[in-house]
Structure 1
Amino acid sequence: AAGAGAHPPVVMIVLDELPLVSLLGPDGRIDAERYPNFAALAGGSTWYRNATGVSGWTPYALPAMLTGRYPEREAAPHYSQYPDNLFTALGGLYRIKAEESITRLCPPSRCEQATTPEQGLGVLVRESGRLLGRIAAPVDSRIDPEDSYRERTAAEAGLDAAEPVPDDPKFRWDTLDDNQPARFTAFLAGLRPDTRPTLHFLHLLMPHSPWAYLPSGAHYAAPDDLPNDGAGWVDLARARHLAQLGYTDRLIGETLRTLRATGLYDQALVMVTADHGVSFRRDWQGRGMDAIDHAANEVAWVPMFVKEPGQRAGRVDDRNWEHVDLLPTIADETHMRVPWRMDGRSAKAAPRERADKRFYDRPGQPVTVTGGVPAPLPPIPVDPLVGTRVGDVPVGGTATVANRDAFDAVDPAGGGLPAMVWGTVPDGVPDGTRLAVTVNGTVGAVVPVVPPDAAGRRFAALLADDRLFAAGANRLDLYRVGDDGTLRRLTLS
């Protein structure tokens, strides 16, 4: 039997669409004021500050992370297409509790996860049989490490083969609308000590768009077709991304608190990363090759934190980490042998000599990305009017707010707030005109008037401060800000 600590619990969270630069403060460290829980994680783990994903598309990026191999071909992120992966490498020895999102890399015979009714009975019967065997055995059970490399039984092979083999890399795209906080809650509930080594895996589509959460966790509604690029729009997209990242930070905090409360924190190998980033550079928003060519620092570089079992002090490692290094590092930390060739290099081995990066917009077609640890991005400017009170001012103009009715009966206790405001102003109002948006007399945002988008909207504002709102009816006002700072209240329709 394996000695104590030889195969530590593994807790792995893969976030989605999170550039490292979004977490950085002006000093290049994790911004502890905005993201205290990421900062706490960095303070007790090894931060691989020069870590990059290998693709800007999850169906290619995540299999590379979990197989240790660069993307070579277009294939659905399914265990039938990637039979050699983290889950199959650990699955014989480790209990696998996986919350996947748009991938299905863990086969049913290895993984304790939600399954279809047809598969569920087989999993239940097999696991119940194993449990009964342990309970009824006259001696303590023993786990054979070689079990992770054995051939599957015919029953297990049949269980895995019963699921249709997908062709489309987007075969689970319908799960994008799943309630991500609810999936996180299920993951959190499973973080309990176990007599058997356990892998707790979560791929969470946070802070990935659609952006719909404030840092407090309050949910807000917004049009699905708001532009993400162009004057005014790209800054709004980044502000919404950062607000949702604030909520993601709260989820990381809940994870750390749960791990400490259950005693798993000291025992476990804890890894938190993201599959790729995203650019908020004007005219190059997104994460395709155009964004890589102009803003690789935002698309390729991602957070990568590794807390080894028993680690207490944080440190920074600037080696050239690529996400194919993830599985080799896990194998070394868990003392497991991976029986296939990997392109990655364990963090316990000597750093790779080359400084450039491999990035795949398409499998089998690597491009070279250069650059080291990215510098922090300039913060989004905050207008000095934000947070000030507005008294009586003259009326001067009109505006239309599409969701004005949402302010008539606000219910903060229900978890939702009308934190997005959007609409239009008359054609005669010049582009670039500043609009101040107030709730109950306090300025919550100042945004520019822009050329109309496809739906005719000329402004949209995020009101990220929950303290602006009260239960019941709330007063919404818009003001046109003159070049000299004077305000004119707009009549709303």
Structure 2
Amino acid sequence: MRTRAERDPGLLVATLHVAGLWAVAVAQPLYDVVGRSPEFFVAHDARPVDLVALVFALGLTGPVACILPIAAARRLGPRWRAITLGVVIGTLSGAIALAAIRAWGDWSGAQTLAVATVVAAAAGCAYVWAAPVRMFATFLSAAALVVPAAFLFNPAMTSLLAPPDAGRGALEGVTFETTPPVVVVVFDQLPLASLLDRDSAIDRTLYPHFAALADEATWFPNASTVSPTTSLAVPAILTGRYPRHGTLPTLDDHPGNLFTLLGSRYRLEVIEPLTSLCPATLCPVERPGVLAWLGAVLRDLRIVWLQVVLPDDLTGSLPPVTQTWADFATLDPPTFGEVWREQRRDDRRRVVDRFVAGLAGGTRGQPTLHFLHVLLPHEPWQYLPTGQRFTFRPHVPGLSRNSNWTRDPRPVARNYQRHLLQVGYVDKILGDIVARLRDTGTWDDALVVVTADHGASFRPGFALRRPEDGTMADVASVPLLVKLPGQRTGSVNRANVETIDILPTIAGAVGARLPWEADGADILAARPPARPVKQIHLFDAERVEEAPADLSAELADTVARKFAIFENGSPFDPLRVGMEYGRLVGEPAAAYTSGRRAPFEATLDAQGLLGDVRPDADFVPAQLAGVVVAPDTEASTDPPPLAVAVNGVVAAVTRPYTFRVSGRSGMWESIVEPRLFTPGANTIELFAIREDDTGGIALDAAYRSDPSASPDNLILEEMAEASGVATSGFYLQEWARNRPVRWTDGHGRITAPIDPRSPPAALGVEVSMTGGRTPKALQIDVNGCRLYRGIAEPGWSATFPFDRCPIRGNTIEIDLVSGTHVPVRGDSRTLGLAFAVVELLEE
């Protein structure tokens, strides 16, 4: 029998074993994902030194963190050394098992964690006791070098590692016949069908600024994208070339583009958030240092790894990683008050405002190219047509992780509604751009191009962005409007146009000859070449599909489906999908109330938002949501219909979802017209809709808000942002027994504005969970004054008068410091207490 000393591989060998397992368990899944999507690094503006630093950081920090407790345990004796080593090896083996189970089977979270735990325990024990297992780990240690090397020598990465040409800039030898101001606006994920009325013309009522532009420009209603992928579609617009497999949206892979073409004569004002085609010599940018860059990338990679290895039912609280290429956590930030403020500079509205403010003529006779690619109306769908935010919810109920819609038409229609609201904001953006150009005297002389990189489909059971039979027009057809300098009369050109034609058309308008061979053509030329089919490049341009040269019939079908959901095409129309009681909308609720209680309970999220509504504020709570608590709500295929009334008027009809949303069963949501809100306090009522014995409609009361009696719960995400509260040390909002809760990391801090003329009199606190039944120590300080020090148990609540801690000034800072624990299974966070309520009380 081997002695403990013989079973101890030594610290150096153990380090190699840990490094190899870390490479397989953590690094390889990450490299596999981002290696297939190098756009991730383009979005993060990666330089060669950044990538090398990432490989070293990812390959060293994890193993070092794992080996430190092993080294420390050596001081405690052979037994503790073996236990610690087995735990580390077992944990990494369990992580490998998680990824393997996710790839090979469709198991529940509980089953996956159970198997991974068994694998971890077995692997840890086998490593300690079996020499062949340690020998296998020795061979596996080569992965610590092989895995990062394979990543760096991946063809997709080698182009990013190539040293940039610091002197690259405008193309030489380009001449111009005329140099008008050029304005190019590329919206993101804007299907043409969203803009059209029943006659397939631009809807003048809903989208007046697009219609007004069409009155003075040439509209191409048969225009289509060449790819549903932004990283392929935008470079195609900028270069006039079809996507090529293996290329990245960078200057190195696209040296001939709009920016290098015009750069020798034009001043460039460029906003390209997801591509990097403008040379640094023409578009200088401020870059973060390597450490700051690493921090941002590692935060995103942590989310990517969890999404890759965990089963679907354990990722509901994670931020989505399919809505953008970077800053995943900001889509579902850990704290609303602090992080949303910190990320305000990345607010898509601020980008638009900056672009509009910069629109002007040339400088001292030099013309200007203004280019904007804005991530609108791309999800998350958060903005009203006015530009006000109506929700802070980034998740898209009914859309799977691989961007396929559920077959249930109701959640798809709800998301279509949110999309159309944001399309209304896009129309306002266009109006602001045109108005600015007119104000600066630039409009008449300007060459203006407005288009989108690709569209989207809102058809149940189909993909959001992948064109298929029946959704080709949804995804491929995009708006394209071109106004030439001096043009004042609109026209319609129904030729088979693709977005690769935009750059040659711009070159033709300024009289410049392209110094590279383009696949597109000048569509305003006397005889543009005929194109028998349309091309759609999919999957990193590895596959090319052909579509009919004329998509008008399919486009008309998409428009008809839109009007089948929204009677007048407006997102404020009552949904007509699974909502047979839409005729109630606009009616006084009192005319139908029965005086009976509904057979279920209903709740409303963040009702305190309704206590002081300001219709002209940046945020208007037009999206209302909550849950229905009724037997078998989640399993039901026909959940109860609900009427939502705002100040006594039925504002929406909805039904709870039949699936869990962010971990909640029976969730309902609706969007109401902001004009129904009145300044100040508003009342929301929920009713169960039923047909009475006479065939009439009756409303049974299920919920009534009382915002005037509801103090602000400072930990709620929506409440915190709308009330100007900053929070730190809190995790994402979760739900326990249909109540929102926020865990702290052991030290939660809330900074809230107060009115010094009427300061709060007390603090109310309620703890929902401590992590099991074990109480934890809790300390509460207000503005540095000790308010409480003691024990908190699950369900503990208390009210603390501010008698001993006078409140002065216009802010109050609340510190919640507690003991912590790390959950045993499925959660690697350090958790303090789960707070259900933290509120300021008046006398």
TM-score normalized by the length of structure 1: 0.83
* Whole-angstrom distance in 1 between the partners of 2:274 and 2:459: 27
1:486 partnered with 2:698: yes
* Whole-angstrom distance in 1 between the partners of 2:529 and 2:697: 55
Q: 1:444 to 1:331 in 2, by over 3 A?
A: same
Q: Find the counterpart in structure 1 of residue 286 from structure 2.
A: 115
The structure with more helix, counted as a fraction of residues: 2
Q: Find the counterpart in structure 1 of residue 461 from structure 2.
A: 283
Q: Segments of 4+ in structure 1 off by > 4 A?
A: 2-5
- Asked whether the 8 Å contact 1:221–1:419 carries over to 2, the reply is yes
* Whole-angstrom distance in 2 between the partners of 1:421 and 1:204: 27
* Whole-angstrom distance in 1 between the partners of 2:518 and 2:672: 44
User: Which secondary structure does the structure 1 equivalent of 2:413 belong to?
Assistant: helix
* Whole-angstrom distance in 2 between the partners of 1:26 and 1:427: 42
Q: Find the counterpart in structure 1 of residue 254 from structure 2.
A: 82
- Asked whether the 8 Å contact 1:11–1:270 carries over to 2, the reply is yes
Q: 1:218 to 1:241 in 2, by over 3 A?
A: same
* Whole-angstrom distance in 2 between the partners of 1:73 and 1:368: 17
Q: Find the counterpart in structure 1 of residue 269 from structure 2.
A: 97
Alpha carbon RMSD of aligned pairs, Å?
A: 2.4
Q: Counterpart of 1:359 in structure 2: which amino acid?
A: I
User: Which secondary structure does the structure 2 equivalent of 1:405 belong to?
Assistant: helix
User: Which secondary structure does the structure 1 equivalent of 2:434 belong to?
Assistant: helix
Q: 1:408 to 1:74 in 2, by over 3 A?
A: farther
Q: Which moved more, 1:170-179 or 1:391-400?
A: 170-179
Instruction: Report the CA distance between 1:3 and its aligned residue.
Output: 12
Of the three residues 378, 382, 386, the one matched with 1:212 is 382
1:440-479 matches, within 5 Å, as 440-454=647-661, 455-479=663-687
Q: 1:372 to 1:352 in 2, by over 3 A?
A: farther
TM-score normalized by the length of structure 2: 0.50
String of CA shifts for 1:436-478, please: whole Å, max 9, x gaps: 1111112221123331224234344342421122233221111
String of CA shifts for 1:188-217, please: whole Å, max 9, x gaps: 111111121211000011111000011122
* Whole-angstrom distance in 1 between the partners of 2:666 and 2:274: 34
- Asked whether the 8 Å contact 2:184–2:450 carries over to 1, the reply is yes
- Asked whether the 8 Å contact 1:55–1:276 carries over to 2, the reply is yes
Of the three residues 371, 375, 384, the one matched with 1:201 is 371
Q: Find the counterpart in structure 1 of residue 191 from structure 2.
A: 19
* Whole-angstrom distance in 2 between the partners of 1:470 and 1:42: 37
Instruction: Report the CA distance between 1:286 and its aligned residue.
Output: 0.5
Q: Find the counterpart in structure 2 of residue 369 from structure 1.
A: 547
Q: Find the counterpart in structure 2 of residue 327 from structure 1.
A: 503
1:384 partnered with 2:580: no
Of the three residues 404, 411, 427, the one matched with 2:631 is 427
String of CA shifts for 1:275-308, please: whole Å, max 9, x gaps: 00000011114012xx433311110000000011
- Asked whether the 8 Å contact 2:654–2:669 carries over to 1, the reply is yes
- Asked whether the 8 Å contact 2:381–2:394 carries over to 1, the reply is no
String of CA shifts for 1:401-457, please: whole Å, max 9, x gaps: 233333233333431011212222213565253211111112221123331224234
User: Which secondary structure does the structure 2 equivalent of 1:412 belong to?
Assistant: coil
Q: Find the counterpart in structure 2 of residue 70 from structure 1.
A: 242
* Whole-angstrom distance in 2 between the partners of 1:242 and 1:472: 28
User: Which secondary structure does the structure 2 equivalent of 1:377 belong to?
Assistant: helix
Q: Find the counterpart in structure 1 of residue 315 from structure 2.
A: none
Q: Counterpart of 2:385 in structure 1: which amino acid?
A: P
Instruction: Report the CA distance between 1:222 and its aligned residue.
Output: 4.2
1:184 partnered with 2:361: no
User: Which secondary structure does the structure 1 equivalent of 2:702 belong to?
Assistant: strand
Q: Find the counterpart in structure 2 of residue 271 from structure 1.
A: 449
Mind listing any 5+ residue stretches in structure 1 that lack a counterpart?
119-169
1:106-185 matches, within 5 Å, as 106-111=278-283, 114-116=285-287, 173-174=326-327, 178-185=346-353
Q: Find the counterpart in structure 2 of residue 314 from structure 1.
A: 490
String of CA shifts for 1:21-44, please: whole Å, max 9, x gaps: 000001111111111111111111
Q: 1:359 to 1:4 in 2, by over 3 A?
A: closer
- Asked whether the 8 Å contact 1:55–1:300 carries over to 2, the reply is yes
Q: 1:3 to 1:263 in 2, by over 3 A?
A: farther
* Whole-angstrom distance in 2 between the partners of 1:312 and 1:173: 41
Q: Counterpart of 2:612 in structure 1: which amino acid?
A: A
* Whole-angstrom distance in 2 between the partners of 1:6 and 1:469: 52
Among all aligned residue pairs of Structure 1 and Structure 2, give the percentage whose two residues are the same amino acid: 38
Q: 1:224 to 1:172 in 2, by over 3 A?
A: closer
Q: 1:117 to 1:287 in 2, by over 3 A?
A: closer
Q: How many residues align?
A: 438
* Whole-angstrom distance in 1 between the partners of 2:623 and 2:435: 31
- Asked whether the 8 Å contact 2:175–2:512 carries over to 1, the reply is no
Instruction: Report the CA distance between 1:117 and its aligned residue.
Output: 7.3
Q: Counterpart of 2:503 in structure 1: which amino acid?
A: L
Instruction: Report the CA distance between 1:361 and its aligned residue.
Output: 1.2
String of CA shifts for 1:333-363, please: whole Å, max 9, x gaps: 1111210111111113324423321001121
Mind listing any 5+ residue stretches in structure 2 that lack a counterpart?
1-173, 290-321, 332-345, 400-404, 567-573, 575-581, 705-737, 739-843
Q: Find the counterpart in structure 1 of residue 231 from structure 2.
A: 59
Of the three residues 289, 298, 302, the one matched with 2:478 is 302
Structure with the bigger RCO (C-alpha within 8 Å, sep 6+) is 1
String of CA shifts for 1:205-250, please: whole Å, max 9, x gaps: 1111000011122212243333343321100010000001111111
Q: Find the counterpart in structure 1 of residue 514 from structure 2.
A: 338
